[in-house]
Amino acid sequence: MRMRSRPRRSTRQFTEYASAHRRSDINMFFHLRRLRKISSLLDIDARKRLVCTLILTRVDYCNSALAGLAPMQLVLHAAARFVLDLQPQDHVTVALQTLHWLLMRQRVTYKLCKLMHSVAFGYAPTYLLDAVVPVSMLPGRMHLRSAYKRLYDVPRVSSSVGSRAFSVAGPQAWNQLPTLVRQMDSIATFKRPVKTRLFCVPN
């Protein structure tokens, strides 16, 4: 019975987390509506700073738990329209590119890659270090070429909820990066090519 109860509990917790994010969506739209009332008094730099402070920080908070999903994309669209003072008929994808903002799925992947970098170079919290297994530590695979490329094992899962776990989504995102990028030990150096790659590779 214990083995059966864990997936149900995990699913329930994720549902509660997703509900909290939906409530956060409503809160962020509320902030955007208030900001629009003073938009004529602000230049583009001021609008962008306000959005980064009030909206994007909330969008990115704990978003690695949303792997495989794309919530809050409408919030990003609304924020981009506000910053660039766009009309409803204007294409928002071009606006996101102009602002150099990643789409929601790409933002989640970016966060997962940063967390995996902390794991790969040993400065992550213990609970993250214990959640994933390097290929070099797997019996029978430690002498393979992949073992020397800082790759991580991707566990097999039987549900969509399981695929969103960090132990699965983290290694998946990390293993897709080029070997040269995975070997960058400085997080400041690492972030730039990861973000550039996410802009160039369709998500």
Q: Is pLDDT at 161 greater than 50 in this prediction? A: yes
The pLDDT value recorded for residue 172 is 95
The pLDDT value recorded for residue 41 is 92
Q: Is pLDDT at 121 greater than 90 in this prediction? A: yes
Helix (H, G, I), strand (E, B) or coil at 93: helix
Q: Are 135 and 144 in contact (CB under 8 A)?
A: yes
Q: Which of 184, 7, 203, 20 is nearest to 105 (CA)?
A: 203
Biggest CA-to-CA distance, the chain: 65
The pLDDT value recorded for residue 72 is 78
- B/e letters for 133-152, b = 16+ CB within 10 Å, e = fewer, are ebbbeeeeeeeeebeeebbb
Q: Are 114 and 175 in contact (CB under 8 A)?
A: no
Q: Are 132 and 154 in contact (CB under 8 A)?
A: no
Domain segments of the chain as ranges: 2-101, 107-200
> How far apart, in whole angstroms, are the C-alpha atoms of residue 81 and residue 75?
10
Q: Which of 96, 124, 113, 59 is nearest to 199 (CA)?
A: 96
Q: How confident is the model at residue 8 (pLDDT cuts 50, 70, 90)?
A: very low
Q: Is pLDDT at 63 greater than 70 in this prediction? A: no
The pLDDT value recorded for residue 25 is 65
**pLDDT one-digit tens code per residue, 13-33:** 545 545 555 556 677 888 888
Q: Which residue has the higher pLDDT, 3 or 45?
A: 45
Residues 91-113, mean pLDDT to the nearest whole number:
90
Residue at 12: amino acid letter? R
Q: Are 179 and 170 in contact (CB under 8 A)?
A: no
What DSSP string runs through 122-157? Answer: T-S-HHHHTT--BGGGSTTTTTSGGGGTT-B-----
Q: Are 147 and 136 in contact (CB under 8 A)?
A: yes
Q: Is pLDDT at 12 greater than 50 in this prediction? A: yes
